[in-house]
């Protein structure tokens, strides 16, 4: 494990957890925590996608 890590608590819906587990298994990633670090690393390195990811309001569970 490169670098010092901190533990944070986050709330996820069941479909979030399912997605993380599928990515973990499909790409042979050791843990769900690593999946999240990969996603965050990608966002940190690709500023050009920030508006696409964060500006649009999404609600997959709204009616």
b/e 4-38 (16+ beta carbons within 10 angstroms → b) = eeeeeeeeeeeeeeeebeebbeeeebeebeebbbe
Give pLDDT tens digits for 12-27. 999 999 999 999 999 9
pLDDT at 62: 74
pLDDT at 1: 58
Global pTM exceeds 0.85: no
pLDDT at 37: 96
């Amino acid at each position: 494990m490169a670098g010092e890590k901190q533990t944070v608590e986050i709330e996820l819906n069941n479909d979030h957890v399912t997605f993380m587990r599928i990515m973990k298994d499909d790409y042979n990633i050791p843990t769900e925590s690593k999946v999240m670090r990969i996603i965050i690393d990608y966002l940190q390195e690709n500023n050009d996608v920030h508006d696409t990811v964060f500006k649009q309001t999404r609600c997959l569970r709204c009616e």
